[in-house]
Structure 1
Amino acid sequence: MDTGRLKIKLQLHCGSSFAMGPGKAALLEAIKREGSISGAGRALGMSYRRTWLLVDEMNRCFAEKLVETLSGGGRERGARVTEHGLAVLAAYRALVEEASAITRSSAYSELTKLLLAAPRNGEAEGSPD
């Protein structure tokens, strides 16, 4: 989330894996919209393999699967975001919204008053030899 001069990137860790972050939230939304993992990958400009690895990592990090694949023919094939996945996505989006409240704080306001729009040109004073 880029809020002007502050970038906040919320990532939930599960051991050494990333259980959820902005990219995985976007992937869940794309799967919900497209109805398939491959369609979501195409919509996001990702390979099927990369998309599948991200889905697998999410599914392994939560108590219940976030995405389930549907086998068979016709309209009942593809993938869907489970109820648990929808709950995780909603909670993550709510957390992101809460984090954006930082930009309305007095500390953020004070800090941005002290921040230049861009770095000064030239050498840094007191740079190491």
Structure 2
Amino acid sequence: MTDAPRLKIKIQIHSGDEIAMGPGKADLLDAIRVEGSISAAGRAMGMSYRRAWLLVDVMNRCWHAPLVHTAPGRAATSGARLTELGEAVLRRYRSLQEGIATASCGADYDALAACLLAEPRASQKDREAVASPLAGD
């Protein structure tokens, strides 16, 4: 049994060729807020420290100020935290997501879903392969 048709809208905010904010980066910011470090946030999300750090680096380079402040070392003030701008960007991005989520409920979506197949038809190439077995075998 297949699931009912669904609408998935993903918001990505670009700075040049880089994705400055998207769903995964927003989730990483949430994890940094909770965990207090990039490495712990990465582990909580099932990603390597390097991957998490690279995502933070992209975010910090795309906005007029960093979204994540890092302090190396083992002192109580070490680790990572969202900056004031990071908190604001995350809050506004989540607000955009909530607004967009309402688009999947309503007459326009219902009309599109009514026309959508539960599964796509086989491609023309697949249908030809089934209809005409190899000659000479």
C-alpha distance in 1, partners of 2:101/2:67?
25
Aligned AA for 1:102? Answer: A
C-alpha distance in 2, partners of 1:7/1:99?
10
Name 1:85's counterpart in structure 2: 86
C-alpha distance in 2, partners of 1:98/1:123?
36
Name 1:65's counterpart in structure 2: 66
**Equivalent residues in 2 for 1:37-48, closer than 5 Å:** 37-48=38-49
Q: CA deviation at 1:46?
A: 1.1
Q: CA deviation at 1:72?
A: 4.4
C-alpha distance in 2, partners of 1:123/1:84?
48
Q: Deviations over 1:32-86 (max 9, x none)?
A: 0000011111111111111111101000101111000123433211010111101
- The CA RMSD over aligned residues, in Å, is 2.1
SS of match in other structure, 1:79? strand
Moved over 6 A (4+): none
Number of paired residues?
Answer: 123
C-alpha distance in 2, partners of 1:119/1:73?
54
C-alpha distance in 2, partners of 1:119/1:65?
44
Structure 1's unaligned 5+ residue stretches are none
* % same residue: 55
Does residue 36 (structure 1) correspond to residue 37 (structure 2)? The answer is yes
Higher relative contact order (CA closer than 8 Å, sequence separation 6+):
2
Name 2:132's counterpart in structure 1: none
Stretch deviating more after TM superposition (103-112 or 79-88): 103-112
C-alpha distance in 2, partners of 1:71/1:22?
27
Question: TM-score, normalised to structure 2's length?
Answer: 0.81
Question: TM-score, normalised to structure 1's length?
Answer: 0.86
